[in-house]
Structures are given as C-alpha cells and as structure tokens.
Amino acid sequence: MTARIGVVTFPGSLDDRDTQRAIRLAGAEPVALWHKDKDLKQVDAVVLCGGFSYGDYLRAGAIARFSPVMEPLIEQAKAGLPVLGICNGFQILTEAHLLPGTMLRNNHLHFICRDQKLRVENAETAWTSDYTAGQEIHIPLKNIDGQYVADQRTLDTLESEGRVAFRYLDVNPNGSNNDIAGVTNEAGNVVGLMPHPEHAVEPLIGTGRTDGLPFFTSILKKLVNA
C-alpha cells in the first residue's frame, strides 16, 4: 500500500507543488490539503510547505496557525503523526507550539536566497533517518524571517536532548541562536527547518544535488516499516 503524505496549501503558499513532486520522487503519494479542510483525509504524514501564508501578516505563521486544518493536525501530531515544517511551515509549527522557540526577522533585515551548507545533528527522527549524524549537506535557503531564537533554558534543553536537527555551517545566514537551522520535538515525529529540501531532490534544480531527497525517503521508510 502506497504511503500518503499530505501537503497543506495556505493562501500565500509557494512551494506546495515542489513538495508534492519531491514526495512522488521518493515513491509516496502526495495528497493536497487545503487550509480550510477540517480533516486530514487519512494521510500518513503531513508537510507544511514554504511560502508566506496569509501574507505573513502579524507574524510569519501567526494566522495560519489558526486555520481549520491545524486543529486536527495539532491533535494528531501530539498523538504521533509525522509532520514536517519547511520554512513558513517551521514558523507555523512554532506558532502552534508543536516546536519550541520562535522565528524573527533575519538579523541583517534582508531577504536571503542562497545554497546553504548544513550539518545533520539528529539522524533519528521520522524525517532524517536516511542521513547520518554529522553528515554535511547543501540545501537551498530563502527567507526573511529565518532567525531562530529561544530562551537559554529552551536552548539548553534542545542541545542536551539532541533535538537540534540541523545546524548551519560556514556561515550563519540569519543570526539564529546556536546556528540552529532545524529542530525536532521530543518524540521525533515533528521536525521543522528553514532551508528547503524539496528544492534539492533532482540534479537539474536547486543546488544541483539531491541532498534534500532523504527527508522524503526517510518518512517513506518510517511509514512502510511501522
């Protein structure tokens, strides 16, 4: 039976089609979810994709967090449903308190678009098991509200529990605390990151590498072996 992975589209989403394509390339079936949907159509996992949901009014992700689709998503994520938040999706997950911390405007106050080098810090989540801890990868990055911040106690907890999933290498592009590019919840089923793995799944696009594809093969293997 083919794994079904939902991709939520909000008004202002930009990368839903790219995410659906990445899921197909990994061998799963993408399922389109609309922000007004009140159920998740019995999907096995969900991706909150990048973009500027609701124009990022108030704060990035602040309005999307209250969309109808988020009610069942939050409930099921707490029960173990695998959820990946990419860029704006990461922002939404912090607004929904499914992941700790918050996102602020980049410390240089400019939009940034670049190929970013990362180190995989946690290869044991539902979305990272096809990587190895310490692996260095290149993933496209594009954001203006990408500065990850948290209080010192939260940062200490993330570091001590191995919940920093990815860290920026060579350059910190937005001033994120501890060079954090992505984090996971305690259970490892919810992961958020600012860079865009869906733009690094084919040699002819993005970085010219396929370093982002393991996100989608990881969750497929997780679901198949569940």
What residues are labeled active site? 87, 196, 198
Residues β-bridged to residue 147: 104
DSSP 53-72: GGGG-SSTTTTGGGSTTHHH
* Cβ contacts of 62 within 8 Å, gap of 6 or more: 95
Radius of gyration of the chain (CA): 16
Residues β-bridged to residue 77: none
Instruction: Give the count of beta carbons closer than 10 Å to the beta carbon of residue 4.
Output: 17
CA pair distance 122, 168, nearest whole angstrom: 13
CA pair distance 187, 83, nearest whole angstrom: 11
* Tokens 């001033």 belong to residue: 175
DSSP 99-135: SSSEEE--TT-S-EEEEEEEEE----STTTTTS-TT-
